[in-house]
Amino acid sequence: MRIIHSIHEMQTIAKDLHKEGKTIGFVPTMGYLHEGHATLLKQSRAENDIVVLSVFVNPLQFGPNEDFEQYPRDSERDESIAQSVGVNYLFYPTSTEMYPMPLATTMTAVDRVDVLCGAKREGHFDGVVTVLAKLFNIVLPDRVYMGMKDAQQVAVVQGLVDDYNIPVEIVRVPTVREEDGLAKSSRNVYLTDQERKEAVVLSRSLELAQEMIHSGETSAESIISFIEKEIVINTSGTVDYVEIYAYPTLKQVDVLEGQLIIALAVRFSKARLIDNTVFVVHANKGEEITCSVQ
């Protein structure tokens, strides 16, 4: 594995790899890697000739009340995990390398950003699309691997790729979960023992909601109310949101049909957890309603 710090060097390597007919799989991260990241990298390893991992804590993604300096960093651990799953190139630029001077042009994400987590993080996704536009032009990937735990981010990035005809395929990778269903997250370590036991209710409520739809429930309001009650009754957490939208457009739906997302966020004493499920509802007139998880 080679560690690259220079944009020019990374871009030159990527161009040379394409000349050799190699395919490049890319996993962009902000580091502090965990099993979820490793899953993305393993799938990229299986589907491409070359795997590139970027580790860059992007300052543009942090709002005024979010502490960029306190974001967890562990370069030795990141390098060890990258090495273990067969990463070929670890792109590790500094902020000065990525943003040597104030941007002459800016990017603004205007759609898919005013719901879910984006509703309370104004400007966050502007930073996401800006840094990814840069990274896509530096790494020149054929495929980009993104975890569906951050389904809103995946939707926003898909919009970026579609809008600007960026020649990359966004590969959605299912959420990595603990044995009991809890979505893996670096935030889980901040749960108390009791909260950890309660947190399984998040994924379980999503499963039950799908069963309700499969059984014929067509009211989004009823499903949202059911999930909220499950969380309130069975956990000490506070519901931040439970929402249902079309996916990946993240538009409100009047009829529960087509590809949908049910997403939720719950605050515990020292951790805010998110989870979601994306699935397709087939509800043809006179036929049984069916749900298939994506």
**Tens-digit pLDDT string for the chain (294 aa):** 999 999 999 999 999 999 999 999 999 999 989 889 999 999 999 999 999 999 999 999 987 777 777 778 889 999 999 999 999 999 999 999 999 999 999 999 999 999 999 998 888 999 999 999 999 999 999 999 999 999 999 999 999 999 999 999 999 999 999 999 999 887 898 999 999 999 999 999 999 999 999 898 989 999 999 999 999 999 999 999 999 999 999 999 988 989 999 999 999 999 999 999 999 998 664 344 444 444
- Residue-by-residue DSSP string for 22-86: --EEEEEE-S---HHHHHHHHHHHHH-SEEEEEE---GGG--TTS-GGGS---HHHHHHHHHHTT
Fold entry, domain 2-173: Rossmann fold (3.40.50)
Annotated binding site for (R)-pantoate: 61, 153
Residue extent(s) of CATH 3.30.1300.10 domains in the chain? 186-293
Cα-Cα-Cα-Cα torsion 54, 56, 60, 64, nearest 10 degrees, comes to 140
Residue extent(s) of CATH 3.40.50.620 domains in the chain? 2-173
Domain 186-293 listed as CATH 3.30.1300.10 = yes
pTM (predicted TM-score): 0.91
Q: What single-letter DSSP state applies at residue 190?
A: G
Annotated binding site for ATP: 30-37, 147-150, 176, 184-187
Known catalytic residues are 37
What is the pLDDT, as a whole number, of residue 283?
Answer: 65
Q: Are 64 and 205 in contact (CB under 8 A)?
A: no
H helices of the chain, in order, are: 7-19, 35-47, 75-84, 95-98, 124-139, 151-163, 193-198, 200-214, 220-234
